[in-house]
Amino acid sequence: MAADRAYLPGARLGTGLASVETEVARLLTRFAQAGAERVEPPALLPADTLLDLYGEDIRARAYVTDDPVEGERMLRPDFTVPVVEMHASHGATPARYTYAGPVWRQQVPGAGRPTEYLQVGFELFDTAAAADADAEVFALLADAVGDEATVETGDIGLLLAAIDALSLDERRRAMLRHHVWRPARFRRLIERFRAPGRLADRLAALPDTAVAEHVRSLSPEIGVRSVDEITDRLHALREEAEAAPLPDADVALLDALLTLDGPMGEVLGRLRPLAESRPPLAAAVERLGKRVEALGRRGIDAAALPFATNFGRTAMEYYDGFVFAFTAPGRPDLPPLAQGGRYDALTAELGPAIPAVGGIVRPEALLAARS
Amino acid sequence: MKLGLPSKGRLQADAIDWFAQWGLTITRSDGGREYAGTVAGLDGVELVLLSAGEVPRELAAGRIHLGVTGTDLIHEKLPDRAATVAEIAPMGFGHADLIVAVPKLWADVETMDDLDEVASLLRARHGHRLRVATKYHNLVRGFFREHGIADYLLVDSQGATEGTVKNETAEAVADITSSGATLEANHLKILGDGLILKSQATLFASRRAEWTAEDRAALQTLCARIGTPAPL
């Protein structure tokens, strides 16, 4: 029906609309009280930026439209990217921003999820203590959704740090980092690095020398990828095939790390022995410890917060540190009422690297959960 | 009951033969020049001739009750196909595979995982994403997502897709192949795990069409002859 909106039948007019407007205003006021400046990013974004960030997949998730002069545009699937760009060109760090408006997402047919829904968000750009910034945003979003919500937390930074701690060369580490947000592909890479011999079988047909000649013998040279590039990668694969396998202890570390699930304080206790003699991971565990303290200073019993190392690995792809979501208990039909996290790497992709953490509330889902 | 059939070519001839074995005699009017014809041997069937590519759309819109087209087109054009069409029977012809192919020159690429790594390298070296030429945007996007590949660009190609690599408008192609001869002639090879879909001509029923009691009876009779339960 024309008057229906996400999770709220008929709420595009009358009292339904009034309650949505009131809720959006309440959230904006709450975020402004926390020091945020109101911003209003455009709804039509240049497609290139989003395609560069998310790849071709974004076309199946965002709505693409075309302007004969401006070129391909996308209906904003998310506020974070335009807010980061706004900050990069106009803002001075530290900065806090708030915004409200619709986002548009294509959904799987039959999934029953809305293609247009409201977000009210808060983003914090700050080079000072990350733990304090994490705690500030989490506490603010927790307060905005209220006590009823169920909370989930995680930290993508732990897995990224564990990758840095593995006995691998930089090439293979980069491959793992690239697939942190795709668990099945990540697992296939681990299996491949465990048994480099399989790669050797595949390369057995290659001559020991004159690899480039061999490549040229296969077919005429067509396409932009040169024989040199192909030869370079064949050499890299051969090196990988001859490299030491990923040690069992490293695989065990990843397995142990990725199955941690429990109260944050307890997980922290179990992480400490895992991080022993692995400095990059130890630093990430230290950051988690500092976050627990910073949350405590804001009156949150962080040690008791549910925490899972695997949380946020599929649905929240640009987050690379602390991640969290608040859901409505007993309402599997609703998406998270609020979610957010740290996305330092995203800012570096779009402009100058600025440590950043933020989150959004879905006011329509929040109202539906209360009703 | 409206039956949608490809308007010409081998696919139409094979479909007419297929229906003949179930007692439906399809005759084109005016020796085949007029896009019209008759169906004998089953009461109440009206022939609609249209391009094979339009059959999925017409089924989804409910403007035809039955339609013959390739499963590739149904999967590509009807993302919500379970709700819009029902498969009655594969017809045993029009076999073709939708596959991912790369230059034979790429001695280092045998699998989709290889392609993924090459996509990252290519972007670093050439400043653009790996371009995949295809007309099957939805199927290819879904397949690449399943394989954890995001760093690529789909380039629309409605024909002569295998030539795009040589023309340097794409690095890889995703297209239909039956014998592989066109790929071979264009110096391309299929990836070991690059099979997206095995397609063949298939008879579909529309879930969106208006089915009168007579239409349903005709469908029952047809399905009974084929020896398959009526899907509606």
Residue of A nearest to B111 (CA): A202
What are the domain boundaries of chain A? 14-162+254-370, 170-246
Q: pLDDT-derived band of residue B57, with 50, 70 and 90 as boundaries? A: very high
CA distances to A62, A250, A257, A265, A292 from A302, rounded to whole Å, are 35, 29, 20, 7, 5
Beta strands at B66-70 and B201-206: parallel, antiparallel or unpaired: antiparallel
As a whole-number percent, the residues of chain A with pLDDT over 70 amount to 99
As a whole-number percent, the residues of chain B with pLDDT over 70 amount to 100
Identify whether the C-beta of residue A44 lies closer than 8 Å to the C-beta of residue A73.
yes
Residue B153's DSSP bridge partners are B131
The pLDDT value recorded for residue A11 is 96
**Record: contact B107-A184, CB cut-off 8 A:** no
The radius of gyration of chain B's CA atoms, rounded to the nearest angstrom, is: 20
Could you give the dihedral angle defined by the CA atoms of residues A264, A270, A271 and A273, in that order, rounded to the nearest 10 degrees? Answer: 160
Q: Which of B77, B81, B108, B173 to mutate to test binding with chain A, by most A CBs within 10 Å of its CB?
A: B108
Given CB atoms, is B147 within the 8 Å cutoff of chain A?
Answer: yes
Residues in chain B, how many? 232
Identify whether the C-beta of residue A306 lies closer than 8 Å to the C-beta of residue A265.
no
Superfamily of domain B96-198: Periplasmic binding protein-like II (3.40.190.10)
Distance CA A141, CA A357 (A): 12
Q: With a threshold of 0.90, does the pTM exceed it? A: no
Check residue B168 and give left, alpha or beta (phi > 0: left; psi -120 to 50: alpha).
Answer: left
B173 has a pLDDT exceeding 80: yes
Chain B residues with beta carbon closer than 8 angstroms to that of A176: none
What are the domain boundaries of chain B? 2-95+200-226, 96-198
Q: In this complex, which of A55, A182, A215 lies closest to B107 when CB atoms are compared? A: A215
Chain A residues with beta carbon closer than 8 angstroms to that of B143: none
pLDDT in tens, A217-231: 999 999 999 999 999
The pLDDT value recorded for residue B112 is 96
Q: pLDDT-derived band of residue A287, with 50, 70 and 90 as boundaries? A: very high
Sign of CA pseudo-dihedral B155, B158, B161, B166: negative
Can the peptide bond before residue A94 be classed as cis, meaning omega within 30 degrees of 0? yes
Copy the structure tokens of residue A146: 């209220």
Mean pLDDT (whole number) for B33-40: 83
Chain A residues with beta carbon closer than 8 angstroms to that of B103: 219, 222-223, 225
Given CB atoms, is B141 within the 8 Å cutoff of chain A?
Answer: yes
Q: In this complex, which of A109, A188, A225 lies closest to B79 when CB atoms are compared? A: A109
Residue type, A203: L
Bigger pLDDT: A326 vs A1: A326
Mean pLDDT (whole number) for B119-138: 94
pLDDT in tens, B86-99: 999 999 999 999 99
Chain B residues with beta carbon closer than 8 angstroms to that of A212: none
Distance CA B145, CA A77 (A): 18
Distance CA A61, CA B150 (A): 12
The pLDDT value recorded for residue A108 is 82
Mean pLDDT (whole number) for A84-107: 93
Bigger pLDDT: A43 vs A202: A43
Q: What is the DSSP string of A50-98?
A: HHHHH-GGGGGTS-EEEETTTEEEEE-S-SHHHHHHHHHHH--SSEEEE
pLDDT in tens, B112-123: 999 999 999 999
Copy the structure tokens of residue A296: 């405590």
A309 has a pLDDT exceeding 90: yes
Mean pLDDT (whole number) for A304-332: 90
A171 has a pLDDT exceeding 70: yes
The pLDDT value recorded for residue B157 is 95
CB-based burial, A205-223: b 16+ in 10 Å, e otherwise: ebeeeebbebbbebbeebb
CA distances to A3, A149, A317, A319 from A15, rounded to whole Å, are 12, 25, 37, 37
**φ, ψ dihedrals at A178, nearest 5°:** -60, -30
Q: What is the least distance, in Å, from the CA of A232 to any CA of chain B?
A: 9
pLDDT in tens, A19-36: 999 999 999 999 999 999
Distance CA B121, CA B108 (A): 12
Q: What is the least distance, in Å, from the CA of A311 to any CA of chain B?
A: 18
As a whole-number percent, the residues of chain A with pLDDT over 90 amount to 80
CA distances to A80, A81, A90, A200, B19 from A351, rounded to whole Å, are 13, 11, 12, 41, 63
pLDDT in tens, A336-346: 999 999 999 89
Q: pLDDT-derived band of residue A1, with 50, 70 and 90 as boundaries? A: low
**Record: contact B154-A57, CB cut-off 8 A:** no
Copy the structure tokens of residue B127: 């400043």
- Report angle CA B61, B204, B96 to the nearest 5 degrees: 115
The pLDDT value recorded for residue B102 is 98
Copy the structure tokens of residue A212: 């480039």
Mean pLDDT (whole number) for A36-65: 91
**Record: contact A178-B147, CB cut-off 8 A:** no
For chain A, helix (H) and strand (E) counts, in that order, are 15, 12
Identify whether the C-beta of residue B134 lies closer than 8 Å to the C-beta of residue A49.
no
Mean pLDDT (whole number) for B67-74: 96
* Domain B2-95+200-226 shares a fold with domain B96-198: yes
A147 by Cβ neighbours in 10 Å (0-12 / 13-18 / 19+) ranks as exposed
Q: In this complex, which of B83, B145, B166 lies closest to A110 when CB atoms are compared? A: B83
Mean pLDDT (whole number) for A66-81: 93
The pLDDT value recorded for residue A316 is 54
CA distances to A4, A5, A106 from A1, rounded to whole Å, are 5, 9, 18
Given CB atoms, is B60 within the 8 Å cutoff of chain A?
Answer: no
Residue A261's DSSP bridge partners are A308
Copy the structure tokens of residue B85: 């069409």
Given CB atoms, is B152 within the 8 Å cutoff of chain A?
Answer: yes
Chain B residues with beta carbon closer than 8 angstroms to that of A229: 121-122, 125
A84 has a pLDDT exceeding 70: yes
Residue type, B46: E
The pLDDT value recorded for residue A317 is 66
The pLDDT value recorded for residue B33 is 73
Mean pLDDT (whole number) for B104-116: 96
Distance CA A361, CA A141 (A): 7
pLDDT in tens, B175-223: 999 888 999 999 999 999 999 999 999 999 999 999 999 999 999 999 9
Q: Which class in CATH covers the domain with range A14-162+254-370?
A: alpha beta
Q: pLDDT-derived band of residue A55, with 50, 70 and 90 as boundaries? A: confident
Residue of B nearest to A189 (CA): B113
Distant-in-sequence, close-in-space partners of A51: CB < 8 Å, separation ≥ 6: A58, A59, B129, B153
A73 has a pLDDT exceeding 70: yes
Distance CA A281, CA A157 (A): 9
Distance CA B181, CA B187 (A): 10
Residue of B nearest to A214 (CA): B107
The mean pLDDT value of chain A amounts to 93
B167 has a pLDDT exceeding 60: yes
Count contacts between A and B (CB, < 8 Å): 97
Check residue B23 and give left, alpha or beta (phi > 0: left; psi -120 to 50: alpha).
Answer: left
B156 has a pLDDT exceeding 80: yes
B2-95+200-226 under CATH 3.90.1300.10, yes or no: no
Sign of CA pseudo-dihedral A235, B99, B159, B133: negative
Q: What is the least distance, in Å, from the CA of A192 to any CA of chain B?
A: 11
